[in-house]
Structure 1
Amino acid sequence: MVKFFISLSFIIILFSKTDDPGNGIYYARVSEEEVYFKVTVEKGLAILEFFLDKKTKGEMNGQVKSGQIFFSDFSIKNEVYDLVFKNGEGHLISKNQDKPKFIKVEPVTKRIDLSLVDISKLIRNNLAPDLVGDWVMIYNLSPDGVVIDDEIKGKNYKVRYSENGSYILDPNAIRDNMPRELVKNFSFSDIPTATWRTEGNNLVINITGITEASESKSVFLIKSDTLLTTSVQGYTTVHVRRK
């Protein structure tokens, strides 16, 4: 029980970090057009980058006032909109008085370090942008929330979710957990090939290598710089983002 409270407290501390609510990448579908927006707010200045029709990119400045982020006169398919963010929600509001439109802008990720072109590719390939990057495995939790003293704890093994869909596990994790008699003959060719994809909140990893192919599924949850992946059996791996 003591271990459970320690691990739970650690997760709460990691999850307590909050991001600027204005910064992020958003998506909307306007007149059959896919539009991606990146909003960056710093010191009262709002900057909007946009990517539409899979080829058009641009940038414009906006205003931050009374808790709202406001971009005026944004054109899509010869129609003019105002883009407004308030209370964490965004909307495109048309200026056409005869046929007014009110289109919700959906949040995609807080990862403003990713380009809009890359974001659109990730979405099309079923790769959650928030997972992209390097993570360090901290420890495993049993289904009842107890920290497991296993081969992961204290080793700081790394995993990488690449933008091209490759899943790369720390070679040290593979070497350290090979049978003792095989370690001396360890080669990078022993590392299996793996890919990843997401289906909603489900993470799917496919592994192929010298053994037969396998597929694993888990539920993932990301908050700030903490990643939790929970297997079908109820075991959870806690990761932190490597910077």
Structure 2
Amino acid sequence: MKHIFIILNFICFSSLSQNLEGVYSGSLVGDQDLILIEKDQGNYLVTLQTGKNTSLLMLGLQKVDGLTFAVPLQDGDELEVFTTKEGDVLFLEFELENERFNLSFDSVSKSHGSKVISSLGNQKDERLIGTWIEKQAFSLDGTIDKEMDNSTKNYKITYSSDGRIIPDSRIFRDVANKHGHRFDFSDLPTFFWSTDNNCVLITQIPSVNQTFQSTYKIQGDSLIVEEEKIRKVFVKEKK
């Protein structure tokens, strides 16, 4: 019995310590997709590259025997994908329309994957790193902007330490639905962030050659971002 207990503990420890980081090639959305798994200050970041300028950046949640991440679907739902690794092969499991799928992605060189992500901007205020929940939107005169207020939706935005932004994909879906447009989640570009003098937030979208600036300040667990006509208040998500 003692030997069985030791073996079970060894198996559990091996699963927990499994290194999932790397770049993998296979087919999930398109014919040839890339999945990049990285660790950023204890959190896993999963990038799904489906085209030259098309990528989705998602947060990964570590499980006892693998990793899960959620891929946004067109109907507003999310596809939960469970991943494990055996040797150099990453296995993906998910259920879609009552059918279970099992896919495999092969490991590729890190240099290949380095083309997927490139961080822009040198200065980064470390206080911004983490996930923030949008709580209130005000006009610059201090009144609540009911048109822009998303306090009931709890939209999230994550600033990673390497300069990438993980926006809440629901924002783009909801805006598109509101204006009667069809939004394809695969069209969501990759966003990058940097700061200037710990008070100016710079957001860049290289695929469309766009740069936006806003001012910000951090007070305790609150982040206040002031744009051209609106002031948004975020609260830092507690782990």
The TM-score with structure 1 as length reference comes to 0.44
TM-score by length of structure 2 reads: 0.45
Higher radius of gyration, 1 or 2: 1
